[in-house]
Amino acid sequence: MKYQSIGPVLAGCLVGAMLLTGCSEPATVENSTLQVGRDAVVASIEPRVEAANPFFEESPLYLHYPEFDRIENAHYLPAFERGMAEQIAEVSAITEQSAEPTFENTILALELSGQLLNRVSAVFYSLSSAHTNDAIRALEQQLAPELAAHDDKLVLNRTLFARIKTLFDQRAALELDAESLRLLEQYYIDFVRAGAALNSEQQQRMKEINAQTAVLQTQYSQNVLSEVNALAIVVDSREELSGLSEGMIVAAAEEANSRELPGKFVIPLLNTSGQPSLSNLQNRRLRERIHTTSLSRGSRGGDFDNREILSNVLRLRAERAQLLGYANHADYVLEDATAATVAAVNQRLSELAPAAVANAIRESNDLQQMIIDEGQDFELAAWDWQFYSEKLRAARYDFDESQLQPYFEIDNVLKKGVFFAAEKLYGITFQERSDLPVYQEDVRVFEVFDAVGTTLGIFMADPYARATKRGGAWMNAYVSQSNLMNTQPIVANHWNVTKPQAGEPALLTLDEVNTLFHEFGHALHGLFSNVEYPYFAGTRVPRDFVEYPSQVNEMWATWPEVLENYARHYETGEPMPRELLDKVLSAQKFNQGFGTTEYLAASILDQALHQLTPEQVPSADEIVAFEENALRRAGIDLDTVPPRYRSTYFSHIMGGYSAGYYSYIWSEVLDADTVEWFKENGGLRRENGDHFRRTLLSRGGSVDAMSLFRNFRGRDADIAPLLERRGLN
């Protein structure tokens, strides 16, 4: 039941309430306490939509795959209302029973509760990110305070908490197996961290904070998506787009036509500060316009300004943390992470920042020299970096992105790259299915088979960017694996590749190739899950551990055997020339100063915002100045390298990554050390994959995260491989 809120890179299931079990489906196991509550509420509720509502019963489709062809906007609200009422009744049945608390009648019953709410939440919150519409957006705002209040009715239930505490205090005598004991302990910790031990007055304030925060976070996230669409760059002439590929120009023209701007060109903005088009656009004035527009998001005034929302969220989070006895929100968040303390995160970031900045300055000097060598007299600016770094890459390594893309056709990358690596490493196979419904025509569905031929689960791929989809890339689960619930996983990857015009191939950049491998690493974490309880399924691990397996999977993108298999010219089928492949591999450390610095700047900004008391939180008018001061104090305020995200469009920190954006670099320590292990043990071998799967990927959150790493690696992690990889040593 571990809550994983909606974040930019979702490694777990999208759920709307803290005690929802995520994407698990109804168990084949019946629990009498649970059933009494469910029967009572079903008998008493007058449904707004008749039995035609596909959420009211488990899906009859294969593995309980969602009935996307039947689901309509009108089904969501009745399903949420019945689901919340049903779970409240189920919990009442737990608390009102006369029997003394046992693991079965309290913890297990709680784990089995909320199944209808899980079903509708899994679909609704997935589509609110992947394929939203006005009705979903409006309902999302309406549901935010209602689901927050529902959470509070559960986690602030004194009678329920008393039963959990009784079992927690007696846990040594209960003779539970290791996973059941961990489930009991985690429930107790979650309830305490949610405020179950507070007095009545404090709990009332907690409810107010939770409701207000839920509304504000939804508004913030919707503003980000709305403004990205509203601020797309309109270009008057084809000449201004010199440097872009023909495919990108055609896509810009089609985007303009879709906006009823015939004869013009539209370049959509993506979620990060930097924009992909800046790598190729020769028009410096247009580059500046794109870049400054990107950085202005959320702070321009008007309907989508996020400064006041952000300030209020930060203040509420800080107050909530202090109410629970923590110094600040970061202190609260990090206690439940592998990092454990604010001091540990601050130390890691401060250790890495100086070397990253030094590398970035060296790189900027090289770019400035290139500008001078071309006879130009301007100083390198942030909107020039991507353009000149691509030129420098081409000069230094004798290749550029345009040479690579013909070898990275999306279907080849997916089937002969991502799937091929998984087949070689884990023995699994894939079969595409066209008989299962999808929520959007470009979504693809694959059944995944284990090495012995049995079905492991279902994988969905949603590749293309669209106005109804938020930026970035992420994984989520519609159904999570659980032996208790007798469910197999249904997981999805979402990317934002530019959709080509009809009849043309989708050719990826090297970064996009890497993204496909990364997100599929999350998918493998979900597919390989083999746990009893849905609370621990798949990616339900600490936030600063969840990126680790997905980052490991990136290594296969450039592993020679894999790259040679998928990197084939989309027209001729010829493999990427060996000399070009060698150049790609030799350039892997190129521009790492920039990449590490922009990432660390965002991570440091995240920590600075969340290590404040309520009184220290900047007002809306002070947000921008606070950012500048925070980066200056950290010594990472380079004008040419802005943070990957500024706080007003930093969607991660409105989801599951508040005070947690450091997780990527924290996980990368484990990742880099794991890559060394694979190399030392022969690389892409079944024995290696089976060991990684058995000791780590299959265990989900059922074992302490760092214990899982030690079980796999045989020791604690070494930071040296990370420093070598990023050129920080």
Question: Pairing between strand 455-464 and 429-433?
Answer: unpaired
**What single-letter DSSP state applies at residue 533?**
S
Q: Known catalytic residue: 574?
A: no
384 CB-contact burial (10 Å; exposed 0-12 / middle 13-18 / buried 19+): buried
The number of angstroms, rounded, from the C-alpha of 435 to the middle of its chain's C-alpha atoms is: 28
Do 501 and 403 touch, CB atoms closer than 8 A? no
Q: Report the 10 Å Cβ neighbour count for 632.
A: 10
Helix, coil or strand: residue 5: coil
Contact 639, 292 (CB under 8 A): no
Strands (E), 481-561: 490-497
Q: How many Cα atoms sit within 13 Å of 17 on the Cβ side?
A: 30
**Read out DSSP for 64-98?**
G---TTT--HHHHHHHHHHHHHHHHHHHHHHHS--
Cβ–Cβ < 8 Å for 549, 521:
yes
Query: How far is C-alpha 636 from the geometric centre of its chain's CA atoms?
Result: 25
User: What is d(CA 236, CA 247) in angstroms, rounded to the nearest whole number?
Assistant: 18
Copy the structure tokens of residue 264.
């013009």
Residue of 363, 519, 547, 598 marked catalytic: 519
Give me the amino acid identity at 489.
P
- CB count in 10 Å sphere of residue 97: 16
Torsion of CA 12, 18, 22, 25, to 10 degrees: 170
DSSP 171-186: GGGS---HHHHHHHHH
| Distance, CA of 539 to CA of 699 (rounded, Å) | 9
Burial class (CB in 10 A: 0-12, 13-18, 19+), 234: middle
Q: Label the pairing between strands 490-497 and 455-464.
A: parallel
- Residues with a catalytic annotation lie at 519
